[in-house]
Chain A
Amino acid sequence: MAANAQGVAEAPFVWHPRSAAEAWQLKATLGAEGVFTAGGTLLRTQWESGLAAMPNHLINIGEIEELHGLELDSETGTGGFGAMLTLSDIRTSPQVNTRFPLLTEAARSIAAPSIRNLATIGGNVLSMVGDSIPALLIYDPVLHWHDGSNGLKEPLSEWLSTAPVHAAWKERLLISIELTQPTMDSNTKRFVAYHKVGRRDAFTPSVVTAALSMQLDSDTRLSDVRLALGGGQTIPHRLETAELFLNGQLANKKTITEVYALILEQYEPKGDAFVPVSYRKKAAANLIASELWKAVR
């Protein structure tokens, strides 16, 4: 925590850069003394719980215009989500709901209204365990960073696989998240679902978060299956083995039973003092199996 010579806490100095380059430069200059802040909702809880010290300098990225953009391209089916878009912005956008409905659903389920008005999509992603991540993972997400030079593009899943151990990303500034809508094959129907299970119905940390998207043809044959799971301290990820298994299968009871067993076997969530791993595995498998069952019913 920022402190005076006697050790008494003082409020951090807050910088207000107007461009990504300026923000990046501030961070480069301040080093570990400076921390990017957007909504500040997660930082506050970390300071209060002692998980992180309040830094001497906060770099408020809220006044950087390019971080606020929402660009939806109906021709390419892509969407660019500025990192500063709040969860409320996303939740209430009809365009987002039409193109990326799982993201709308995810935004609806995170925290409480007053927090969603401040908390940003960028912050939710960079927490590594945000409940938007399973939804984003369905849409081939790519992170766009400002790194002081030409900018950097990196698939979200790639970043998630290295972020906990390689902290270099903390020197960069997340500009936006690019998503792509799945294309539809002819004669198929697409089914999507998002579930967040907490220890209560609202304003609760997730225990299991599941997102899925799949195509079914008239014979109930599955294709383009995308499954993502997360929740609690589990870093969300796609279930590639299960997706591979399901693609091309008929969505019948046998398939559902098999994929249920596969998820139980392969999904490795983290437990905590409140909810054990065993529950998380079973609930995750149940949710995905139930969506397959509903799709063919």
Chain B
Amino acid sequence: MLLNRKGSGARWRVRPDGPDKVTGKLAYLTDMTAPDMLIGRVLRSPHPHARITAIRTEQAAALEGVHAVITHKDVPGLNRFGIAHPDQPVLCEDRVRYVGDAVAAVAADTIAIAEQALRLIEVDYEVLPIVDDAEYALTDDAPSLHSQGNLLHRNGFKRGDVITGFDNCAHVVEETYYTPRQMHTYMETEGGLFIFGEDGRLTVYAPTQHGFMDRMQLARILAIPQSDIRIVSSPIGGSFGGKDELNVQPYGALLARITNRPVKLHNSRWESVRAGLKRHPMKISMKTGVDCSGKLIAHQVRIIADTGPYATLGAEVLNFAVEHVIGPYRYDNLDVDGFSVYTNNGMSGEFRGFGGNQAIFALEGQFDRLAEKLGLDPWELRLRNMRKSEDPGPFDQPIALTEGAKQVSSAMTASTLWQERGKLGTEEQQAEPWIRTGIGAAFTMHGAGLGFGIPDPAGGRLTLAADGKIEAVFSYEEFGQGLIATLEQMLIEQFGFASEDIRIIIGDSDVVPDSGSTTASRATSMMWKSLQNLRPLFEEAVLSKAAEFVKFPARQLRFGEGGVYAIVVNPDSSAEECLITYPALAAACGEPVTCTTTFHFPTSATEKVGAHFLYTYSAVAVKVEVNQLTGRVRLLHQYHAVAAGPVMNPQGFLGQIEGGSSMALGFALTEDAVMSGGQYLTKNLDTYLVPTIAEHRGTIDVQAIEELPEDDSHGPRGIGEVGSVTLAPAIAAAIYDAVGIRVTKLPIDPELLLAQSFDQLLEKAVSGE
């Protein structure tokens, strides 16, 4: 089904949070204020690597209007944070390892006073040699950034023997690919409001993708029970993985505790760039060989990921990259070796695509190059090596069986865009011979969920509340992806409720069950599964109550708009009638009726940590225009075939693929947080360039393939990330089609695509004078 408004009919709904967002009426958590609120600010290291020899805060503390100045000495609990491996100091004790490292924090009456207080804090540093390159970090010459050295994590996968494999290859392609330090660039920068109540409990109003994880980490830092912390975490002005880890929360919580006043922190864009997470820059070297028929014989990969100074999810991102450099193909011999390496560069961490973006760019590039050596169509080479539906996953692990690979491949090759290949017009080229167009495509299977070996709980709750509202309660977060809209649509379509019957409650750790994180393309799948589990329970619980009151057999009752319905048989006519409204039913029940479900994200029967069980398949074709006068690339048209099971919310699905693709366009063409000597050269959005609406003048078609095997019990697959991982290699392939130049480094350097001389440019267009 080609997703669009017209084809979706009544399923194309106005999203419940839409009007308030587009009118600016909606208040985000960082818009909140409180009476007597203080402003918090964080002093960060100016050096990428230094020893701290002294911190003097007296002058700052003496400034009128300053209520607290804190250092590492003021952290009562664990002075570290990090979702998977807490090694990042809340406030550095004796050493700083990047320019975002926090050394002190202040709370003051005004922004100006807080900022002046930061200037009055004296920190003596002894500058240390820096490690600003991940490969250098692995050498014996490099200073060690942590007691265990500079290697955060190493992971790989082997099958057969690649050395012998390459001996038996007819063609071998060796290439090294580089990907940028991409920034999430959410519209709402990190921030929050932190209030200790009279009951001694802390309430945190701060965006995050996993409220319960923040609660656990903050309890550990503050040395207070988790039950003494309430996390209010939605709505969120964008996250894309960037707000899953703690950011300003430890400082807000500590300052609020010490001052006993509400404290607000809100990063400027400058501070967000300096301290915040980025996508891991990776260097991926690949050697891939085929026999003369194009069958993959050997694939050898080395991944170097610059994880920056601290762990956060660096190890998990590497695991994902290791899985996705293997991808949806079968190889006789395989040797993948990946390194996630500490450096004094900026923090790398979780980001939509989670290591897949880098891996797929490299892997798909190998297929295009090998196909050329073989004289084969690049898609034909993919087809010859593509996994069959019954094949195991990349790590040889059992995976949920679908026809996704074949489905998206068939859809893409049948698309009018792909059919246009080789038939691109020459008329425009005569008028402006420096404009060249080309078509390219790429393919992927992208894993969802956290993977084997990582706790990945799920669940939710449905309640007929005292006021008659049907409450759907989950710990998932709304950060713009349309989660609320999708949940509402599922409740309407699967249960028969009207939107007015429903109250959705998310983003408050005091009232929601732990449904796990809103990450890894998992929330829609887990909400769907929860509702599948809850439906019989809720029907049983609520309809049996209704049966008592309306004197009708429960099995003849059903949920409907506004209340419970049944077919009432009369002598002259039979019709379905609402027998009792939800408010009346709730009143009659006297107390809320609640059903809960808890389960685990489905995982594979494997021992390989991080291996996935559920995958989304995607094939993307693009048409680009290369202007050889300027070397600049314009994306004219995109086609995405996505096999992710049934579409829960067509608008949301389309939005995720379009939005992911927009991020991928930046990844491919313009975005890079450039660093030199451990310092950011791109400090703000004037030099860090995300695509604007001008870059989106091209058209985009999204084909959703909904068919799943009959016995599939997993329902809709994740689509939050897949739109962002396949575009870059498709663009690279299209550029080659247009101008015959291979791209190995993102974002693509326009100088690479410039005509080498004006003569060359006009060769075809001008004959003689």
B-binding residues in A (CB < 8 A): 3, 6-10, 45, 48-49, 197, 199-205, 208, 252-254, 256-257, 260, 273-276, 278-279, 282-283, 285-287, 289-290, 293-294, 297
With A256-B758, A286-B630 as known contacts, state yes or no: A293 contacts B692, CB within 8 Å: no
**Contacts A253-B762, A274-B687: A279 and B769 contacting too (C-beta < 8 A)?**
no
Residues of A within 8 Å of B119, CB to CB, are 7
A201 CB to closest chain B CB, in angstroms? Answer: 4
Pairwise interchain contact B670-A199, C-beta atoms closer than 8 A: yes
B interface residues, tally (CB under 8 Å): 47
- CA–CA, A99 and B270, complex, Å: 42
Chain B at the A interface: mostly helix, strand, loop or mixed? loop
Nearest A-chain residue to B114, judged by Cβ: A8
- Cα(A204)–Cα(B270), bound, Å: 18
Given known pairs A48-B270, A201-B694, A279-B750, the reply for A8 and B674 (CB within 8 Å) is no
- Contacts known (A200-B692, A201-B692, A253-B768); A283 close to B676, Cβ less than 8 A: no
- Chain B residues within 8 Å of A278, by CB: 751
Mark B61-74 against chain A: 1 for CB-CB distance below 8 A, else 0: 00111000000000
User: Is B762 within 8 A of A293, CB to CB?
Assistant: yes
Is B497 engaged at the interface, CB distance under 8 Å to the other chain? no
Does B115 reach chain A (CB closer than 8 Å)? yes
Cβ of B683 < 8 Å from any Cβ of A? Answer: yes
The 10 closest A-B pairs by CB, nearest first: A202-B694, A201-B694, A286-B629, A279-B751, A252-B769, A9-B112, A260-B758, A8-B116, A273-B681, A289-B758
Q: Which of A48, A256, A283 contacts B629 (CB 8 A)?
A: A283
A279 touches B631 (CB 8 A): yes
Known: A9-B112, A200-B670, A279-B631. A293 touches B684 (CB 8 A): no
CB distance from B750 to the nearest CB of A (A): 7
- B686 at interface by CB-CB < 8 Å: yes
Residues of A with C-beta under 8 A to B762: 253, 293
A200-B751 in contact (CB<8A): no
Chain A CB within 8 A of B761 CB: yes
CB of B629 within 8 A of CB of A290, answer yes
Which partner residue on chain A sits nearest B690 by CB separation?
A200
**Number of A-B residue pairs at CB separation under 8 A:** 101
* B751 neighbours in A (Cβ, 8 Å): 275-276, 278-279, 282
- Map CB proximity to A onto B470-499 as digits: 1 under 8 Å, 0 otherwise: 000000000000000000000000000000
- A79, chain B: closest CB distance, angstroms: 29
The answer for the CA separation of A8 and B110 in the assembled complex, in Å, is 10
Distance of A142 Cα from B425 Cα, bound (Å): 47
With both chains docked as a complex, state the minimum distance between the C-beta of A5 and any C-beta of chain B, in angstroms.
10
Instruction: Name A252's closest neighbour in chain B (CB-CB).
Output: B769
Chain A proximity of B689: nearest CB distance (Å): 5
B87 within 8 A of A: no
A48 CA to B119 CA in the complex, in Å?
16
- Contact A197 to B113, CB < 8 A, known contacts A203-B692, A279-B754, A283-B754: no
* Smallest Cβ-Cβ distance to A220: which chain B residue: B769
Give complex CA distance A205, B684 in Å.
13
Give chain B residues whose Cβ lies under 8 Å from the Cβ of A260.
757-758
Tell me, in angstroms, the Cα distance from A275 to B672 when the chains sit together.
13
| Chain A proximity mask over B756-769: 1 for CB below 8 Å, otherwise 0 | 01110110001011
Residues 733-769 of B contacting A (Cβ, < 8 Å): 750-751, 754-755, 757-759, 761-762, 766, 768-769
